[in-house]
Structure 1
Amino acid sequence: MSNMFCYQCQEAAKGVGCSKIGVCGKSADVANSQDLLIYVVKGIAVYGEKLRELGQTDKEVDKFVVDALFTTITNANFDRANIIKKVQKGLEIRDELKAKLIKAGVKVDGATSSSWLSKFMEIIGLGAKEEVKLADAAIFNADSLDQLNEKAKTVGILATENEDIRSLRELLTYGLKGMAAYLHHANNLGYDNDEIHAFMEKALVATLNDELGADDLVGLTLECGKFAVDVMALLDKANTESYGHPEVTKVNIGVRNNPGILISGHDLNDLQQLLEQTKGTGIDVYTHSEMLPAHYYPAFKKYDHFAGNYGNAWWKQNEEFEKFNGPILMTTNCLVTPKKSYKDRVYTTGVVGFDGLTHIHEDENGKKDFSVIIEQAKKCEAPVEIEKGEIVGGFAHNQVMAVADKVVEAVKSGAIKKFFVMAGCDGRVKSRNYYTEFAEKLPKDTVILTAGCAKYKYNKLDLGDIGGIPRVLDAGQCNDSYSLAVIALKLKEVFGLEDINELPIAYNIAWYEQKAVTVLLALLHLGVKNIHLGPTLPAFLSPNVAKVLVDNFGIGGITNVDDDLKMFLG
């Protein structure tokens, strides 16, 4: 085995995988610890799935599984000590679940409940009689940190020798990681769905089952797409019922003269708590990267100190965080290794972690105390202005449906010839400038539908409008790709079409990490075909698995802007 092996993001070294240190900055020790955490979660799922069949569920266990999966997503947690603590906690949870299963009368690893009641129930046919076949993930033990370290080196991606099975297991796992991220945010707002948890356990267990072949795993991966739609719908409901439906909004990208706090990531609950705690302090709050769409929600517009958006996509934070002057709160990924010059101003919360950064924990009621950030902000200079102007967003499904007649008429009249879904992620490789050039060269009778930080490649371009309809319609965060799907399905209904692929919509999506995988699986479940992914196809797709996606769904890559425009426009 190599020092590490990770190929879950688009920046996998040489398009193959990171084997010494992650391009993201994570060390081999962190990568291996994350692999071990996933392995432990799979062991938890072995018992959790069986207990669920017996009618026993545990919300705390569900929460741990979701948070653990989210912890291992790209650019979220680089704190090895924190990850090892989660591994140790996971082993405790796993063994507690095993004890519950034994107590319920199920034979586990040769053991069963010794109580006379369980034995009596088994005799009369009311008790569970089968013996649970245990994978190593459900039974291994480690008595020391050294043993955990050694175990971590043996349970990573390459532990699955068959390339195609490995590819499908990882594709499924990455879909689950993205689902966990979205479910985490919904849970923080008090929304949940037990069926999603059940599927996550089922899928995790399946990745341990050597009897499952490629066809079985393909089926599970497509089923993951169904639950990906469900989890994005759940988060959409959580966000809109908590904060109102997004509205078309102009967002200031300049600065004010007050000290500021910059909040990045995706968690709207964290933002709400920060805005409440900064009222009347003389401190302004700015969004960064994926937090930009918070400005579209009506509930946040009541805060006079909610100043605007500062900067661009996640990968520019090394430059922009330095110029901001005030403290920065990272609520989710993507975190870039902070420079010494501003490291003392970066705080983490939720699943985010980095050695040496102050972490803001929540109490038993889910409340967080941001006073240490607020006090530091009071001593800081106002942000350095890096740009001026406004950007427009808020075109989620409810808003677009409100002007659906206008959109439909523009299509029928020929004013709008085609929509291009350019959702997804941004990243640091220069080849992503393709998306800026693509947007600039699109004909004036086309409209871009976007969500996620991919928007930063073109949301500040002056692309104009079509009869008052902006040529860039930003639905929001990456999870708001759900809005784009809802819009497409509504247009399909309005035009009386049998197939969503008959719509004048093309999909040219940029991907980076695992939430993009979840969105892709959701689109495939909805029947969308001929999706193009860039700037490169995922390294975790083996040639055979890639062929399945190409043959069945028309998945393709990108080449150059001029040739791709000819292909998309026919």
Structure 2
Amino acid sequence: MFCNQCEQTAKGTGCTVIGVCGKKPEVAALQDLLLHAVKGMSLYANEGRRVGVIDQEVNALTCEAVFSTLTNVNFDPKRLQVLINTCAELTAKLKEKVAQAGGKINFTDPAANFVPTSDLESLVKQGELVGIINDHDADPDIQSLQQIMVYGIKGVAAYADHAHILGQEDDKVYAFIHEGLAALANKELNLNDWIALVLKCGEINLRVMELLDAANTGTYGHPVPTTVPLGHKKGKCILISGHDLKDLEELLKQTEGKGIYVYTHGEMLPTHGYPQLKKYGHFYGHFGTAWQNQKKEFAEFPGAILMTTNCIQEPQKSYADNIFTTGLVAWPGVQHVKNGDFGPVIEKALAMPGFESDEDKGSVMVGFARNTVLSVADKVIAGVKSGAIKHFFLVGGCDGAKSGRSYYADFVEKAPKDTVILTLACGKFRFFDKQLGDIGGIPRLLDIGQCNDAYSAIQIAVALANAFGCGVNDLPLSLIISWYEQKAVAILLTLLHLGIKNIRLGPSLPAFVSPNVLDVLVKNFDIKTITTPEEDLAAILK
């Protein structure tokens, strides 16, 4: 196996024996094969659009399949086998439609003519012969850009799947995913062509984040400032982790009146701010921190656990019988619940002891998405003009297990008291419970939401720039970003598409960025690696 798509990849170069995430070689091979199959389907889908053939089933499966290869999503060989076979079946049907419409179908790339074997063992062997980059004679910088684009597309596909679940989609998103994956078969594209595709990936991700924002706020209302308890109530309980708001809503509906409290974990924390979710009286508080701590935290939770979207780690024996997956998430041996039917999760929660007593562990505030922040924009602007607010820091992104990630908590703690910290995604769990006070009634720590809510952060920055009559790069705003997986790659590409400069990225740079490509990013966007909080603060605020 070879996988270098996450920040914690082995030795900073690539996992070759087993994934740091727990991915086994056979799973890695099947994920590579699934991407290979989607690449073949993309060749026909891309050509199909040219002759007026657009297949909605193909669009949906494309995102589901690509999302399934994202870090910490699907570790189940049998589930991957189903996706591979479904992809091959839809490709055959699409090929016929394209031929009938007069489109080209004589593609020579092996992915276009892929036929899966019938048994899992030989399917794994097929996967071992392919990879996302199968032209190993290509220029290393082109290979690097191809990987950047593919990993960005994984993030785009994840966000598109979230939005699609809530009824928001745009064919231009699917069209780009197909265009980008089909481009992997085109050996005539040069370095500039690939740079353009990488930046287009960022442009498309901006659109898909806009769709997801519309889906979430249109369904559940705009988040409002909300106090979330970190303790618990006596009684039966369910813990929900991941990102999916619809799964949470269905769980809240199905547990209503059953004497079960629902708690969030990880990236689900910001959901407490949505009016249509917080109305449920048994939606109580938040338990634990970020995804990488789940093995310890889940073992301490006395109820059922539901994993939605990405973030699952190998379940420990202590809670293996209490954890469930749904959607695209899968782990071998873990019970999977489908179609929003959470009956088995509820039954398990009722059979478990739950919390024996109430406990107060303090609270945190969420709900500072764009509507909330912009509603007090006059106070923010006045604070900047008076000198009360000297600088804004967006400190956010993915969390991970590396010790170097303590940088982000240290940075926030050392930031001067006349600065405001905006944060989003699970990186905030390094400092989310810090009491930083306020500036003129405006909290110094503002939780914008999930990584899925990056659109809100962008809109806040654009609105402030408009208010001050300057560009975003001219604002007293600095981006201190942590990355781990492919959603973060997509967001970074969006920032580059928007021309945002001076981003500090860490805790280490992606293994798939070649020295020459890195040089381009440094020269054109002034991307920097983090150093120490003291040095970076001094450089920013000088």
Counterparts of 1:341 and 1:333, CA distance in 2: 21
CA distance in 1, matches of 2:329, 2:69: 10
Does the aligned pair in 2 maintain the 1:243–1:300 contact within 8 Å? yes
Unaligned runs of 5+ in 1: 110-132, 363-367
SS in 1 for 2:371: helix
Q: Which residue of 1 aligns with 2:78?
A: 81
Q: Secondary structure of 1:447's match?
A: strand
**Which residue is equivalent to 1:566?**
538
Q: Could you tell me which residue of structure 2 aligns to residue 320 of structure 1?
A: 297
Residue type of the alignment partner of 1:227 = I
Aligned counterparts of 1:383 and 1:476: Cα–Cα separation in 2 = 28
User: Which residue of 2 is the match for residue 139 of structure 1?
Assistant: 113
Residue 457 (1) aligns with residue 454 (2): no
- Taking the aligned partners of 2:85 and 2:274, their CA distance within structure 1 comes to 39
Inter-partner Cα distance in structure 1 for 2:48 and 2:132: 28
1:152 to 2:127 alignment: yes
Q: Which residue of 1 aligns with 2:25?
A: 28
1-side partners of 2:360 and 2:483: how far apart? 27
- State how far apart, in whole Å, the 2-side matches of 1:383 and 1:168 are: 50
Paired position in structure 1 for 2:418: 445
Tell me whether 1:551 sits opposite 2:523 in the alignment: yes
1:27-106 map, 5 Å = 27-106=24-103
Structure 2 Cα separation of the partners of residues 103 and 158 of structure 1: 31
Residues 554, 378 of structure 1: CA spacing in aligned structure 2 closer, same or farther, 3 A cutoff?
same
Structure 1 residue 425, shift from structure 2 partner: 0.8
Find the counterpart in structure 1 of residue 237 from structure 2.
260
Cα distance in 1 for residues equivalent to 2:476 and 2:253: 44
Distance 1:163 1:151 in 2: 25
* Counterpart Cα distance in 2 of 1:354 and 1:308: 27
Corresponding position of 1:177: 154
2: distance between equivalents of 1:108 and 1:533?
A: 43
Letter in 2 for 1:382: G
Structure 2 match to 1:8 = 5
Determine if contact 2:34/2:84 at 8 Å carries over to the other structure. yes
Q: Say which one has the larger Rg.
A: 1
Q: C-alpha distance in 1, partners of 2:359/2:133?
A: 44
1:357 is aligned to 334
Of 355, 369, 373, 2:341 maps to 369
Q: Residue 46 of structure 1 contacts residue 134 of structure 1 at CA under 8 Å; is this kept in 2?
A: no
Q: Which of 337, 358, 371 is equivalent to 2:314?
A: 337
Query: Which of 357, 368, 382 is 2:354 aligned to?
Result: 382
In structure 2, C-alpha distance between the alignment counterparts of 1:410 and 1:106, rounded to whole Å? 60
Query: Hey, what does 1:213 align to over in structure 2?
Result: 190
Distance in 2 between residues matched to 1:185 and 1:532, nearest whole Å: 28
3-state SS of 2:321 partner: helix
Match of 2:145 in 1: 168
| Aligned twin of 1:512 | 484
Looking at structure 2, the residues matched to 92 and 442 of structure 1 have their Cα atoms a distance apart, in angstroms, of 55
Counterpart-to-counterpart distance in 2, 1:158 and 1:60: 26
Separation in 2, partners of 1:143, 1:420? 52
Is the CA contact 1:450–1:481 (under 8 Å) kept in the aligned structure 2?
no
Structure 1 residues 39 and 157: alpha-carbon distance in aligned structure 2, compared to 1, 3 A threshold: closer
Does the CA contact (< 8 Å) of 1:418 and 1:446 recur in 2?
Answer: yes
Looking at structure 2, the residues matched to 378 and 147 of structure 1 have their Cα atoms a distance apart, in angstroms, of 43
Q: Which 4+ runs in 1 deviate beyond 6 A?
A: 384-387
1:185 CA displacement:
1.0
Mapped partners of 1:157, 1:200: distance in 2: 14
CA distance in 2, matches of 1:381, 1:51: 55
514-523 vs 205-214, which deviates more?
Answer: 205-214
- Conservation of the 8 A alpha-carbon contact between 2:304 and 2:322: yes
| Cross-structure match for 2:475 | 503
Structure 1 counterpart SS, 2:163 = helix
Q: How far has the Cα of 1:404 moved from its partner?
A: 0.3
The CA deviation at 1:356 is 0.2
Q: Distance in 2 between matches of 1:85 and 1:96?
A: 17
TM superposition shift of 1:464 = 1.2
Confirm or deny: 8 A CA contact 2:394 2:422 kept in the other structure: yes
Q: Which residue of 1 aligns with 2:383?
A: 410
Provide the C-alpha distance between the structure 1 equivalents of 2:93 and 2:355, rounded to a whole number of angstroms.
50
Kindly report which structure 2 residues correspond to 1:231-246, keeping only aligned pairs within 5 A, or say none.
Answer: 231-246=208-223
- Partners of 1:87 and 1:298 in 2: CA distance: 39
For residue 397 of structure 2, give the secondary structure of its aligned residue in structure 1: coil
CA distance in 2, matches of 1:184, 1:477: 15
Aligned twin of 1:491? 464
Asked if structure 1 preserves the Cα contact closer than 8 Å seen for 2:48 and 2:103, the reply is no
Question: For the Cα contact (< 8 Å) 1:509–1:533, is it kept in 2?
Answer: yes
Deviation at 1:107, TM superposition (A): 4.8
Match of 1:304 among 270, 273, 281: 281
**CA contact under 8 A between 1:79 and 1:353: conserved in structure 2?**
yes
Shift of 1:50: 1.2
CA deviations on 1:307-333 (whole Å, 9 max, x unpaired) are: 111110111111111111111100111
Q: 8 Å contact 1:256–1:382 — kept in the other structure?
A: no
Q: Is the 8 A contact 1:178 1:518 kept in 2?
A: yes
1:189-228 alignment, distance < 5 Å = 189-228=166-205
Alpha carbons 2:223, 2:275 under 8 Å: kept: yes
| Maintained 8 Å contact 2:393/2:477 | yes
Distance of 2:360 and 2:506 partners within structure 1: 28
**1:147 to partner: Cα distance:** 4.1
Amino acid paired to 1:548: V
Equivalent residue number for residue 452 of structure 2: 479
Residues 230, 285 of structure 2: 8 Å contact kept:
yes
Shift of 1:387: 6.8
- Quick one: distance in 2 between partners of 1:107 and 1:502? 48
Contact 1:5 1:157 in 2 (8 A): no
- Does residue 251 of structure 1 match 2:225? no
1:243 CA displacement: 0.4
Distance 2:142 2:31 in 1: 20
Deviation of 1:383 (Å): 3.7
Contact 2:40 2:114 in 1 (8 A): no
Please give the secondary structure, in 2, of the residue aligned with 1:423.
Answer: strand
**1:163 Cα offset (Å):** 2.1
Q: Please report how far the alpha carbon of residue 63 of structure 1 lies from its aligned counterpart in structure 2 after TM superposition.
A: 0.6
Identity of aligned residues (%): 50
Structure 2 vs 1, CA of residues 180 and 142 (structure 1 numbering), >3 Å: closer, same or farther? closer
1:290 aligns with 2:264: no
Aligned ranges for residues 533-544 of structure 1 at < 5 Å? 533-544=505-516
Figure out how many residues of one structure are paired with residues of the other and give that number: 538
> Structure 2 vs 1, CA of residues 386 and 482 (structure 1 numbering), >3 Å: closer, same or farther?
farther
Residue 51 of structure 2 contacts residue 103 of structure 2 at CA under 8 Å; is this kept in 1? no
Counterpart position of 1:118: none
Is this contact kept in 2: 1:6–1:157, CA < 8 A?
A: no
In the TM superposition, residue 142 of structure 1 has moved relative to its aligned partner by: 3.7
Deviation of residue 157 (structure 1)? 4.4
- Counterparts of 1:567 and 1:464, CA distance in 2: 24
Q: Does 1:18 pair with 2:22? A: no
